[in-house]
Amino acid sequence: MAIYTKKGDRGETGLIGGKRLFKNSPIIHALGSIDEVNSWLGVVGGFKNIQRDLMTISSILAGAKLIFPLSKTKDLEKKIDKLEKKLPKLTGFIIPSGSDAKLHFARALIRRTERSIVAIPKILHTNPNILRHLNRLSDYLYILARYINFKKGTKEKIWKLS
pLDDT tens across 104-155, in order?
Answer: 999 999 999 999 999 887 776 678 899 999 999 999 999 999 999 999 999 8
**Residue spans of beta strands (DSSP E) within the chain:** 12-14, 20-22
Within 8 A by CB and 6+ apart from 60, the residues are: 66, 67, 68, 123, 127, 130
Residues in the chain: 162
What is the domain count for the chain? 1
pLDDT, position 124: 66
pLDDT bracket for residue 7 (50, 70, 90): confident
Q: What is the mean pLDDT of residues 52-68?
A: 94
Residue 3 in any domain: the answer is no
Q: Which of 71, 85, 81 is nearest to 133 (CA)?
A: 71
Q: In whole angstroms, give the CA distance from residue 114 to residue 33.
A: 9
Residue 143 in any domain: the answer is yes
**36 within 8 A of 105, measured Cβ to Cβ:** no
Predicted TM-score (pTM) of this structure: 0.91
**86 within 8 A of 150, measured Cβ to Cβ:** yes
Q: What CATH number does residue 90 fall under?
A: 1.20.1200.10
pLDDT tens across 72-109, in order?
Answer: 999 999 999 999 999 999 888 999 988 789 999 999 99
Residue 145 in any domain: the answer is yes
Range of the domain at 143: 12-152
pLDDT tens across 33-46, in order?
Answer: 999 999 999 999 99
